[in-house]
Amino acid sequence: MTEKTEWTTVDFESLSWHDCHVYGFGLEEREHGTADLTFDLDFIVEWLCRVDRSVEFRVAPATLTFHEVFG
């Protein structure tokens, strides 16, 4: 497991958003009719698959932000 504490646009394609719970979202107006779209979520850092086929997760609070969204 990585000890990384912040991911950026460069990391986006390598991250999995499957089963992450979203607790809130927001839009903050920007220039030229765009906005920043922000999601507050529990990001699954690690899936812990047990021998008995049960699964547990290591989760961390996270903010996912999309910049300059429109339409």
pTM over 0.75: no
The label of the residue with tokens 């903050």 reads: 28
Among residues 5, 1, 9, 10, the alpha carbon closest in space to that of 64 is found at 9
Interval 22-71: pLDDT, tens:
999 999 999 999 999 999 999 998 889 999 999 999 998 999 999 999 98
- State the burial class of residue 29 (Cβ atoms within 10 Å of its Cβ: 0-12, 13-18, 19+): exposed
At 39, list the tokens: 């999601």
pLDDT of residue 2: 58
Q: What per-residue confidence (pLDDT) applies to 33?
A: 94
